[in-house]
Amino acid sequence: MPLETLRRLSVLGLVALASAGAATLGAGVGQATRSVSAPPAIRAVAHQAPVVAHCPVPTKLRPAFEAAARDTDLPASLLYAVAKIESNMKPNARSSAGARGLLQLMPGTGGMLALDIDTPTSNVLAGARYLRQMLDEVGSNDLALAAYNAGPTAVARAGGAPSGDVLSYVANVDEVWRSHAGCR
């Protein structure tokens, strides 16, 4: 299937396509052999997953994730998943594009939200607020994650995931989120 056709499909459609025909998408999907079912809706915070005995959020960062989750009505496990994929939970992470911190925010995004992205607590809150904005704009978990990663303009222009890398990002966040859904 041509990449241009893939770009026009919604992220959710691409995730379903990846599950059904992962071998045909190859490297554009990343780790295509895993199952990619959609996690519960973000608004459905009170899902029935059992509490995970070990929450991988470091103890010193847990209050930041819990506060950001309360502030934005997003599951802390989703915020953890974004931080895990974005920075591997490294507060001082910096990307080659200039994104910084646990949730890998650009300085302009931090400025727009009036939060210091170089402080872990503020970085988590800024990332959570930005993800909440993306969700409110697009109304879909997967499209919100794609917009968080690639930018809302790129997602709108492409009508979904603008690249296979973005699709892989969404699938990876979804996988981590599902595996830690009961973590509080």
Among the listed residues 4, 66, 86, 137, the single catalytic one is 86
| Other CB atoms within 10 A of residue 66 CB | 15
Instruction: Identify the CA nearest to 25 among candidates 9, 8, 6, 12.
Output: 6
94 to 26, 102, 148: CA distances (angstroms): 29, 9, 16
Q: Which amino acid would we find at residue 126?
A: A
86 as an active site residue: the answer is yes
- Residue (of 147, 130, 140) closest to 68 by Cα position: 130
Helix crossing, 11-25 with 164-179: angle to 10°? 100
173 residue type, one letter: V
Residue 61 sits at the vertex; the CA angle it makes with 58 and 66, to the nearest 5 degrees, is 110
Q: Catalytic residue positions?
A: 86
